[in-house]
Amino acid sequence: MANASHAIVNPHSGQRMIFRKTGKDTNGEMVEIESFNPSSAQREPMHIHPKQMSSCEVLAGIVHFHADGKTHVLKAGDKLEIPAGVPHYFWNEDPEEAHTIQRFYPALDIDGFFASYFALARTVKIGKSGTPSLLRMARPALHYRNEIRIVNPPWPVQRALFSVLAPIAGMLGYPKTYT
């Protein structure tokens, strides 16, 4: 779990995050993250937060969100709330770095997920698409299944696949979380 004021960087995407409030700080109520996203043509995979509402408030720059089948272009002062379970992803195609505040309710362990994923990216164990191998992701995907899931293939297929791969990943020394 991350601590407030802890900063992390994803060297693959250039995204920087500062944990302003963690689940520990709020007794599990919420997580608040200040995020800096450089311009990039790369987009996150379509994903959901199955048990969390998330929001994004833009402080500077422009952020594009594709949520629930619609594209939203958010500028400074704009805010978007995404209910739990709604498929979405975001990107910054504007030349200016986007500066946002992201919030997640309840906290669960989303701060732990981001810290772990960025640590994985720092160890250069992700592909050009920004995603790690299925084998390397098997244990974290199961560990963080309540916080975040990609939408394709469907979760029952992922769960079955990761349940088979996770013991193999464990034998190879791949952890549930990265630091």
pLDDT digits (tens, 9 = 90+) for 36-82: 999 988 888 899 999 999 999 999 999 999 998 999 999 999 999 99
Q: What angle do CA 119, 124, 130 make, to 5 degrees?
A: 85
| Paired residues of 63 in beta bridges | 74
Give pLDDT, residue 103.
Answer: 98
User: Model-level pTM?
Assistant: 0.92
Give pLDDT, residue 130.
Answer: 65
* Separation of alpha carbons 98 and 75, rounded Å: 9
Q: Spell out the residues 6+ positions from residue 74 whose beta carbon is closer than 8 angstroms to its own.
A: 56, 58, 62, 63, 64, 65, 80
Which residue type is seen at 8?
I
Alpha carbons within 13 angstroms on the beta-carbon side of residue 32 total: 10
Give pLDDT, residue 83.
Answer: 98
For the chain, which ranges sit under pLDDT 70?
1, 124-125, 127-130
Q: Which domains does the chain have, with CATH numbers?
A: 7-110 (2.60.120.10)
Packing angle of the helix pair 155-171, 134-143 (nearest 10 deg): 110
Mean pLDDT of the chain: 93
* Separation of alpha carbons 103 and 145, rounded Å: 18
Nearest to 63 by CA among 32, 86, 88, 31: 88
Give pLDDT, residue 42.
Answer: 81
